[in-house]
Structure 1
């Protein structure tokens, strides 16, 4: 409202050539907002601004123009402008928008209510789409609507379905050391080192394909993880990128029994710059590694995925007494929760521990016990 004899405290009004009055103000989003309609008198325009100012002061103001924007347009901008969205996740979300979210794309943000979300989600689950992609779609919808709430386009996030879109960590298969050895023998020789780096050093497939020759120190028995190879399904783009977190930058000690295979790989198949290259000399494609692994896996009758090799090695490392901190460093995880997924009791380990306890009891001497007990987390 305008102060008597002074400048207006909030907003601005002006008379248009039509003699009607237009009201506007700078919103909490630092953008000028205009009233949805013009006013017959200046007093009416002032009164509208008073109401807007009150809404802002109690946190109830919404950006009406943004709220009317179609979900598809807003989601597109979210994917394009959000620095936290990686290329793979963007590709996944755009594919899910085409396959599973068509009925939401033209709806204004303010029209996507809890009943609308429940109806869409129920139909999506009843359709032909897989539960994984439907869950991804729901999480994406929830993330976009959270952004819309922060932008003051909507009051509350309409994604309120308990448990919907939850990303539950599934139990992964574990290969025994003997089974890993069988796969190594069955696979095409140029891929043996990839299997061993995944199983015994915990490298991801993208990290394996991104390794430079200089990253593999055969003298000191260390592999330096510095990059991750990104390959998109719907784009020919392939590139190396930095890890998501600083924890991904790590040096991993190579188990002695793996080292001879890496020496052989360096001599026979490594490129000048890349440790893993295809027959054409170009950087090894992740899919080539995966397909070679699948053929070898099926040949020996092993039901695990390539990523399960990473899980296998770290689970076995845990069985030797590795702490959570050890696993976090070796895996390149920033959070304890991620590394905890790999802490499982290997079959037979509990019986081994029981035997060791009996051996301790048989010795009977307190001198055999450590003077301090270290609790490993």
Structure 2
């Protein structure tokens, strides 16, 4: 979980005092009481609680209760309602499934100690500690470091997690088996897309990684490939079909120059070295394959085309088509029934004829908004369909079909020789 590596502005309120109050017996009891509170009733709840508790404590507890409810999606209820959060911490924290996968990959390579630089609220440190790794967790913001320390204690991991409030650039990482860096990728205006504008910059994080026996750098999944150095293995991770992050791996056991796509929870992984030539483009066949987002981000769509013996529908669109059945962990398969030039009236007539009442809209290379399209179709009927708003050989096209389960399977773990 990345944090801006900067001191808090002078004159800010006393967040540390408010946080300390939440850790008193009175604060803990109030948080327990608010575990299942309804945010829609927050005003009435606050009015009632202020009759018996200090107003500042009630305000802090309500804010923390909201954050805990938001954190359930990433940490699960069992952990989230024992942990503490900051607003940025919830937003930027790594999902537990991803952090666990990453931690176990380090532990599986013999790592027993890690310097976690820019640790944030400690989500990654927790995952590494649970994998049996001793962690030095560092963050420069005093409140964030206090929250990380409290989280290690709340989950019984304080013997494995040492939290230090310090500037990460001054940390001696030489005593540790590995370094993990999660630079902040958000600023006052939102997401930061330039890796050198991360805090700390990607170049600094890379230098720190190259000095360590092993390292992992968490970066935005949309990072430009040209920003990835030749001495790292780059991995894109999706969880439940959503791309969550990219990681740059350094050290023994990783393949410099390789690109990898990994899917959770299955942990199926596709890895390739040198890129393949541009894949062929051709007409839409019986089947359409939608690669997982991690495959697309890792620029491994050409590998999918090669494996299924297919082609792209357009040289700029990541839809793969084939006339033969091909099933893979890395694609979702659809059987195409209709190919139409872009024409809303024709699509509406087709859906009415097929009695389609439930329509899934997917788009790539099209400005159409799915909700607006569904509204215009005035859907009625017992059947379901999927429509792809895309381009075929450069022409705006509508493809109609259904998800399909195929019989042939590709290996769950596959690697193409470099």
Q: Determine if the TM-score, normalized by the shorter chain, exceeds 0.5.
A: no
Q: Which has the higher strand share?
A: 2
Q: Which has the higher contact order (CA 8 A, sep 6+)?
A: 1
> Which TM-score band applies after superposition, normalised by the shorter structure?
under 0.3
* TM-score between the two structures when normalised by the length of structure 1: 0.27
* TM-score between the two structures when normalised by the length of structure 2: 0.25
